Homo-oligomer: A and B are copies of this chain.
Amino acid sequence: MCSGGGGGVSAAINILSAITFLLAFAFLRLQPINDRVYFPKWYLKGARESPSHGGAFVRKFVNLDMRSYLKVLSWMPAALKMPEDELISHAGLDSAVYLRIYLIGLKIFAPITVLAFIILVPVNWTNSSLESSKVQHSDIDKLSISNIPVGSKRFAAHLAMAYVFTFWTCYVLLREYEIVATMRLRFLASEKRRPDQFTVLVRNIPPDPDESIGELVEHFFLVNHPDHYLTHQVVYNANKLDKMVKEKKKMQNWLDYYQLKYERNSSQRPTTKTGFLGCFGSKVDAIEYYTSEIERIEKEETEERGKIMKDPKSVVPAAFVSFRSRWGAAVCAQTQQTSNPTVWLTEWAPEPRDVYWDNLSIPFVYLTVRRLIIAVAFFFLNFFYVIPIAFVQSLANIEGIEKAVPFLKPLIEIIPRTIGEAIPMKATFFITYIMVDGWAGVAGEILRLKPLIIFHLKNFFLVKTEKDREEAMDPGSIGFDSNEPQIQLYFLLGLVYAVVTPFLLPFILIFFGLAYVVYRHQIINVYNQEYESAAAFWPSVHGRIIVALIVSQLLLLGLLSTKGAGQSTPVLLVLPVVTFYFYKYCKNRYEPAFVEYPLQDAMRKDTLERAREPGFDLKGYLMNAYIHPVFKGDEDDEKFSISDEPEAEQVLVATKRQSRRNTPVPSKYNGSESPSLPEIVNDQRL
């Protein structure tokens, strides 16, 4: 791996596989039979139809137009052509901003690469330190900092470049943060009316012996947000019911399957076994068995629905509270409600589709405990796993040194200075890694081999209707959770090796360029983003690049101290401090735009909307927005809605606590104190 020849072979293999993937994609995407795999986004938007209108039968599956095969890379300019504004309206802001992460990589590393090759490569190359040493090395290492003798004055060039690279990276990050913040604010301002703009999720509603959760919520917000409260929706613990609905759906699928089987071969009624996985137990008629099972579950379901309705314990201490205006909701989401900061917690409600209903029924205390457990587990994972692995890894890589110096003891006394040569020499490993994981990986992404095979299998065996076909081709959302850490690794590698081994930079640059084009193509043609967070993830992307930058600065500091340039430590120590202050500045300046909803923006949107649609029935619009999906479209719907509108001008907050009227002792809970004020509220208003 360390020798120049080995590196060349692996490079050739990887470049070849990347090119093969790209060629295969260029061929496969032209075949009409694959159209739904490579352009599902357009089908889902209704802008494309199966390309089989008329013509020969074979044309339905194979593209016979030979000229189209000549333009192997035609998809690349096509992917780049769509302007960003159109991209946002086509695929959402999240996707457009996601692409900017690759763009930021290009913006950071293109000038750094040029500068490093003009200045650092000649500085490193015009030495002969490695040739005279016994350490194994490749030709690449001659271009790296390893080739500079210990204590050389040439390290001044690396120091200067570390400053230049840091300032350039920070400048690009600042510019991008500003751009993305502006994009987000513009996007939010242009968004259509959505229930979550008017709604706040309230958690940890304290129990009250006299009132149900629903009554308590209504009283609390009528008293404390009298001019703004509109309606609310309590949250039912419907996890059991949800499980039943899912079970019924599964049974229905099996029933469909056996009915289809019986239709195809009506001579024999299909059978199944009632035990585990249909493999054990007594043999029964499959269609009859599943029909009876579905009936049983339906009965249980009706029972469970009734139980949820009647049992006050099935209401969890959380509620979605909606307000008359975005202003009212913004105020409620950003303020503390009571003097006890652990109850009546308010936060912006997520998009209705984005609510994870199962977790709403977890008591808040458990959530805190879970968070603590995860933090402790994370700490021990790092402490007992990552650190030893890194240590062993660093030992394993000095095997080349061990050959030259066979005795362990003198090696230990030499392990500070040789590390100064060994760390940069790991660059060859990472160059191979970039080619395998980065280049070939991205080329594989555009080929979509797995979805291609699965689509054709499903299409052949399962698809009955057009709806089935749409479900089979659904590409889902982009894998942000797994892609983003990968990109961060490349940022880390690029920043660490920019000063140490500039030869690695072009590989990083090609990765970012290729990935940008490929993912732009995929976002335009393939993925169908389900939720929209309006780029809420940007602060963490920004923060992680800064962490990578600080890690690179500290590594350079350690490296130079082992290379006899220890006097540079104070000069280099300035960099992480300045970078950290840059991070703090950016956090103060831009992060609020990603977290809070400013009152001015809320008021502006409210005012414009009221002027445009004066008579809009907001209450009707919000009524059923936050109902658990299992109750949606149900005949019981009306039971879950608040019966009549409390008129803002003539509110009379009713209370059930007649019995306490004469007792001076206040209620134990904060929440139950508030409804003792209604008489005064009422006097004031009437």
- The residues of A with any CB-CB pair to B shorter than 8 Å are 185, 220, 223-225, 227, 330-331, 334-342, 344, 372, 581, 588-593, 596-601, 603-604, 607-608, 610-611, 670, 674, 677, 680-681, 683-684
24 CB contacts below 8 A, A to B, read A185-B339, A220-B600, A223-B600, A223-B603, A330-B335, A331-B331, A334-B334, A334-B335, A335-B598, A336-B596, A338-B598, A338-B601, A339-B598, A339-B600, A339-B601, A341-B588, A341-B591, A341-B596, A342-B588, A342-B589, A600-B674, A607-B677, A608-B680, A610-B680
Closest Cβ of chain B to A334, distance in Å, is 5
B608 pairs with A336, CB closer than 8 A: no
By a CB distance below 8 angstroms, the chain B residues around A592 are 336, 341
B684 pairs with A337, CB closer than 8 A: no
Interface centre among A331, A591, A677, A684 (most CB of B within 10 A): A331
By a CB distance below 8 angstroms, the chain B residues around A340 are 593
Given that A227-B227, A372-B581, A604-B677 are known contacts, is A337 also in contact with B599, CB under 8 Å in the complex? Answer: yes
By a CB distance below 8 angstroms, the chain B residues around A604 are 674, 677
Which single residue of chain B is at the shortest CB-CB distance from A334? B335
Copies in the complex: 2
By a CB distance below 8 angstroms, the chain B residues around A223 are 600, 603
B224 pairs with A603, CB closer than 8 A: yes
Which single residue of chain B is at the shortest CB-CB distance from A604? B677
Closest Cβ of chain B to A131, distance in Å, is 41
By a CB distance below 8 angstroms, the chain B residues around A684 are 607, 610-611
A338-B601, A341-B593 known; 11 new pairs, CB 8 Å cut-off, are: A334-B334, A334-B335, A335-B596, A336-B592, A336-B598, A337-B598, A338-B598, A342-B589, A600-B670, A611-B683, A611-B684
Interface centre among A225, A336, A589 (most CB of B within 10 A): A336
A336 pairs with B336, CB closer than 8 A: no
Which single residue of chain B is at the shortest CB-CB distance from A341? B592
Closest Cβ of chain B to A596, distance in Å, is 4
Distance, CA A227 to CA B334, complexed state (A):
18
Closest Cβ of chain B to A2, distance in Å, is 39
Of B338, B341, B593, B680, which one neighbours A589 at CB under 8 angstroms?
A: B341
A331 pairs with B335, CB closer than 8 A: yes
Distance, CA A330 to CA B336, complexed state (A):
9
A599 pairs with B683, CB closer than 8 A: no
By a CB distance below 8 angstroms, the chain B residues around A372 are 581
Closest Cβ of chain B to A106, distance in Å, is 28
Closest Cβ of chain B to A534, distance in Å, is 13
By a CB distance below 8 angstroms, the chain B residues around A593 are 339-341
A607 pairs with B670, CB closer than 8 A: no
A224 pairs with B608, CB closer than 8 A: no
By a CB distance below 8 angstroms, the chain B residues around A674 are 600, 604
By a CB distance below 8 angstroms, the chain B residues around A227 are 227
By a CB distance below 8 angstroms, the chain B residues around A342 are 588-589
B334 pairs with A336, CB closer than 8 A: yes
By a CB distance below 8 angstroms, the chain B residues around A591 are 341
Q: Which 4 A-B pairs have the closest CB atoms?
A: A341-B592, A336-B596, A338-B600, A334-B335
B337 pairs with A224, CB closer than 8 A: no
Closest Cβ of chain B to A213, distance in Å, is 17
Which single residue of chain B is at the shortest CB-CB distance from A225? B599
Which single residue of chain B is at the shortest CB-CB distance from A189? B339
Closest Cβ of chain B to A31, distance in Å, is 48
Distance, CA A481 to CA B224, complexed state (A):
38
By a CB distance below 8 angstroms, the chain B residues around A677 are 604, 607
Closest Cβ of chain B to A380, distance in Å, is 11
Which single residue of chain B is at the shortest CB-CB distance from A346? B599
By a CB distance below 8 angstroms, the chain B residues around A597 are 336
Which single residue of chain B is at the shortest CB-CB distance from A344? B600
Distance, CA A670 to CA B604, complexed state (A):
12
Closest Cβ of chain B to A594, distance in Å, is 10
Closest Cβ of chain B to A424, distance in Å, is 31
Closest Cβ of chain B to A62, distance in Å, is 54
Closest Cβ of chain B to A672, distance in Å, is 12
Given that A581-B372, A683-B611 are known contacts, is A600 also in contact with B337, CB under 8 Å in the complex? Answer: yes
